[in-house]
Structure 1
Amino acid sequence: MRHRSLRTARQRIIGGLSVGLLATLGLAVPAAAHAPRTTEATAPASAPASASKAASGEGSALTPPMGFNNWNSTHCRAEFNEAMVEGIADIFVAKGLKDAGYQYVNLDDCWALPQRDADGKLVPDPARFPNGIKAVADYVHSKGLKLGIYTSAGTKTCDRAGFPGALGHERSDAQQFADWGIDYLKYDNCNNQGVDAKQRYPAMRDALKAASETTGRPIVYSICEWGQNKPWEWAADVGHLWRTTGDISDSWGSMLSIAKQNLPLAPYARPGHWNDPDMLEVGNGGMTDTEYRSHFSLWSVMAAPLLIGTDLRKATPETYQILGNREVIAVDQDPLGKQGSVVSSEGGRWVIAKQLADGSRAVALFNETDRARHIATTAAAVGLDHAPAYRLRDLWRHQDYNTAGAVTATVPAHGTVLYRISPDRRWASYPPAVELGGEGASLTEAGATAQVDTVLTDLGRTPARRVAVRLTGPEGWRIRAVSPTRAGSLPTGKKLTTRWRITAPADAEPGAYDLTAGADYRSPSGAKATARLVSTVHVVVPPPSGTSYASDLPWLSALNGWGPVEKDTSVGESAAGDGHPITLGGTVHARGLGVHAPSEVTYYTGGRCTAFTARVGVDDEEGAAGTVAFEVWADDTKVASTEALTNTDAAKAVTAAIAGAKTVRLVVTDGGDGVTSDHGDWADAAFRC
Structure 2
Amino acid sequence: MKKVRAVITLVLLGLTFTIIMALNTGAWDNGLAKTPPMGWNSWNIFHGDINETKIKQIADTMVSSGMKDAGYVYLNLDDNWMANPARDSNGNLRADPTRFPNGIKALSDYVHAKGLKLGIYGCRGTMTCMNVPQSGSKGYEDKDAKTFASWGIDYLKYDNCNIPNGSDMKTDYQKMQTALANCGRPIVFSICAWGYQSWMPATGNLWRTTGDIADKWDNGTEWFKGIINAIDGNAQYTSSAAPGAWNDPDMLEIGNGGCTTEEYRTQMSMWSMMASPLIAGNDIRTMSQTTKDILLNKEVIAIDQDPAGVQGKRVKSANGLEVWVKSLGTNGTTKAVALLNRNSTTSNITVNWSDIGVSGSVTVRDLWAKADKGSFTGSYTASVPSHGTVLLKISTEPPAPVDATKQIEAENYSNQSGIQTETCSEGGEDVGFIENGDYTVYSNVDFGDGVGGFQARVASATSGGNIEI
TM-score computed with the length of structure 1 as normaliser? 0.51
Point out where structure 1 has 5 or more consecutive residues left out of the alignment.
1-55, 427-689
Equivalent residue runs for 1:508-527 within 5 Å: none
Deviation at residue 206 of structure 1 after TM alignment? 0.5
Asked if the contact 2:29/2:244 (under 8 Å) is kept, the reply is: no
Match of 1:266 in 2: 238
Match of 1:375 in 2: 349
Match of 2:170 in 1: 198
Asked if the contact 2:322/2:341 (under 8 Å) is kept, the reply is: yes
Deviation at residue 59 of structure 1 after TM alignment? 1.4
Q: Distance in 2 between matches of 1:102 and 1:399?
A: 25
Match of 2:336 in 1: 362
Are 1:293 and 2:265 matched, yes or no?
yes
Are 1:120 and 2:120 matched, yes or no?
no
Structure 1 counterpart of 2:189, one-letter code: Y
Match of 2:392 in 1: 419
Point out where structure 2 has 5 or more consecutive residues left out of the alignment.
1-27, 219-225, 400-469
Equivalent residue runs for 1:637-676 within 5 Å: none
Structure showing greater relative contact order (alpha-carbon pairs closer than 8 Å, 6 or more residues apart): 2
Match of 1:189 in 2: 160
1:177 to 148, 162, 168: 148
Q: Distance in 2 between matches of 1:396 and 1:202?
A: 41
Equivalent residue runs for 1:55-74 within 5 Å: 58-74=30-46
Q: Distance in 2 between matches of 1:134 and 1:345?
A: 50
Q: Distance in 2 between matches of 1:240 and 1:172?
A: 21
Deviation at residue 163 of structure 1 after TM alignment? 6.0
Match of 2:302 in 1: 330
Equivalent residue runs for 1:16-415 within 5 Å: 58-77=30-49, 80-115=50-85, 116-161=87-132, 164-194=135-165, 195-211=167-183, 213=184, 217-227=185-195, 230-231=196-197, 233-253=198-218, 254-357=226-329, 358-359=331-332, 360-384=334-358, 386-387=359-360, 389-400=361-372, 401-415=374-388
Asked if the contact 2:82/2:93 (under 8 Å) is kept, the reply is: yes
Q: Distance in 1 between matches of 2:164 and 2:353?
A: 51
Q: Distance in 2 between matches of 1:352 and 1:162?
A: 46
The residue matched to 1:345 in structure 2 has which SS?
strand
The residue matched to 1:282 in structure 2 has which SS?
coil
Structure 2 counterpart of 1:350, one-letter code: E
The residue matched to 2:39 in structure 1 has which SS?
strand
CA RMSD of aligned residues (A): 1.5
The residue matched to 1:221 in structure 2 has which SS?
strand
Match of 1:542 in 2: none
Identity %: 50
Runs of 4+ in 1 over 6 A off after TM superposition: none
Q: Distance in 1 between matches of 2:161 and 2:378?
A: 50
Count of matched residue pairs: 360
Structure 2 counterpart of 1:234, one-letter code: W
Deviation at residue 259 of structure 1 after TM alignment? 0.8
Q: Distance in 2 between matches of 1:408 and 1:303?
A: 24
Deviations 1:312-364 (A, max 9, x none): 01211111000000000000000000000110122211111000012211000
Structure 1 counterpart of 2:388, one-letter code: G
Deviation at residue 160 of structure 1 after TM alignment? 4.6
Deviation at residue 234 of structure 1 after TM alignment? 1.1
Q: Distance in 1 between matches of 2:124 and 2:312?
A: 30
Return the index of the structure with the highest Cα Rg. Answer: 1
Q: Distance in 2 between matches of 1:305 and 1:62?
A: 11
Deviations 1:564-612 (A, max 9, x none): xxxxxxxxxxxxxxxxxxxxxxxxxxxxxxxxxxxxxxxxxxxxxxxxx
Q: Distance in 2 between matches of 1:173 and 1:85?
A: 22
Structure 2 counterpart of 1:223, one-letter code: I
Q: Distance in 2 between matches of 1:425 and 1:399?
A: 21
Deviation at residue 83 of structure 1 after TM alignment? 1.6
The residue matched to 2:120 in structure 1 has which SS?
strand
The residue matched to 2:310 in structure 1 has which SS?
coil
Structure 2 counterpart of 1:108, one-letter code: D
Q: Distance in 1 between matches of 2:264 and 2:318?
A: 22
Q: Distance in 2 between matches of 1:240 and 1:280?
A: 18
Q: Distance in 1 between matches of 2:53 and 2:322?
A: 42
Asked if the contact 1:110/1:163 (under 8 Å) is kept, the reply is: no
Q: Distance in 1 between matches of 2:326 and 2:263?
A: 21
Structure 1 counterpart of 2:175, one-letter code: A
